[in-house]
Structure 1
C-alpha cells in the first residue's frame, strides 16, 4: 500500500494518543484520519517479514505500528499467547505500565517485549503493546496496537551499511 503523507511528516504519537485516540476510535468503528497504523497479524510472521511487507513512514524513526488481535490462552484472559507462526515468541521485558490521559486517568497499558527466534535466541527486534484493560469474556480476542522496531544499536548498524 502506498502512503501519501505530507513532506516532513513524522508519526510520533504518545502512548496516551495511541490508546485514547487511535485504538479507541478503531474499537468503536470510527474513521481514523491517516493510514499510519497498519492492520496485520503480528503473530503470523517474524518481525523481519513485517518490516519488508510494511514500509516505514520515515527513515529516521524506522518503526511500524499495527492494529492486531491478541489471543488469551485461557477463558479468563489472564495469560496471552505471543507465539509467532514460525516458532518464535515475544517475551515480556517488563511488567505492564499504566498509560494515563491528560487528566491523570488510567486509560490503558503499555508493555514491552523482546523477540526470540525459534531456537530461543534473543534477536534485535522489540515490540511495545498498547491496549485497554477490560474484561475478556470466554477467551475472546482483544484488539491492541503494537509498535515493532529494531533496537537502537541494531538500527545504527544498519544505517552505517
Structure 2
C-alpha cells in the first residue's frame, strides 16, 4: 500500500516526487547538469532546469521568467550564450547586464569563485549577481539573486566547448514579496 501511495505521489511527466526539492551542490550542478548539457549527454531531472537563450534571459525582468507556485523561491536555468554574451564571459563575467529597455540590471557581487574537481584543478567558476530595478543611475536593489556557473574552456577540448557555451543559473527571490 505504501509503495502504491508513493508512486501515486509522483508528479506527472517524470518530475520529482511530491515533497522532494531540487537542491544540488555546486559540484553536482556543474558535473551532473551543466557538463552533461554542454556535451549532449542525458541530464538527470531535466525538467527541473529550464532552457533559455541568454538574449531572452537578460532582456526580461526575473519575475516574468518564473512561474510562482507552491511557495517556490528558487528556479534553475540553462542559459545558452550567443557570441555577444560569450564576449562578456570572456571578460570575466564582471559586466553589468542591463535587462530589457533599462527596466533593471544584474550586477555581479564580488569576484568569480573557482570550483575544483577531484584532482584540485579548477574546471568551473561561479559568480553571484543581484538584480536592481531602474536605470544604472537610479537603481533600487531588489530581492532577486542569481548564481551563475560556467565551465572553464581549458578544462575541456576546445572543439567540444566552442560549439556550445552555456551557463547554469539558479535564480532566487528573497523573502520580501516585492520586486
| 1:69 Cα deviation after fit | 2.7
- Aligned with residue 117 of structure 2, among 98, 101, 120: 101
Unaligned runs of 5+ in 2: 1-11
After superposition, where does 1:48-127 map in structure 2 within 5 Å?
48-52=63-67, 55=68, 59=71, 62-70=73-81, 71-73=85-87, 77-78=90-91, 80=93, 82-87=97-102, 88-119=104-135, 120-127=139-146
Q: How many residues align?
A: 147
SS of 1:51's partner is coil
Secondary structure in structure 1 of the residue aligned to 2:44:
coil
Would you say the 8 A contact 1:126–1:150 is kept in 2? yes
Q: Which protein has the bigger helix share?
A: 2
Aligned partners of 2:32 and 2:44 also within 8 Å: no
CA distance in 1, matches of 2:173, 2:73: 8
CA RMSD of aligned residues (A): 2.9
Q: TM-score, normalised on structure 2?
A: 0.69
Note closer, same or farther for the CA distance 1:32–1:72 as it changes in structure 2 (3 Å cut).
closer
Deviation at 1:123, TM superposition (A): 1.2
Larger radius of gyration: 2
Q: Cα–Cα, structure 1 residues 5 and 141, in superposed 2: closer, same or farther, change >3 Å?
A: closer
Alpha-carbon shift at residue 73 of structure 1 (Å)? 4.4
Secondary structure of the 1:18 match is helix
Question: Greater relative contact order: 1 or 2 (C-alpha under 8 angstroms, separation 6 or more)?
Answer: 1
Q: Is the 8 A contact 1:72 1:141 kept in 2?
A: no
Q: TM-score, normalised by structure 1?
A: 0.76
Q: For residues 113 and 133 of structure 1, do their structure 2 counterparts lie closer, same or farther at Cα, with a shift above 3 Å needed?
A: same
**Superposed displacement of residue 117, structure 1:** 1.4
| Corresponding residue number in structure 1 for 2:172 | 149
Distance 1:140 1:6, change over 3 A: closer
> C-alpha distance in 2, partners of 1:79/1:33?
29
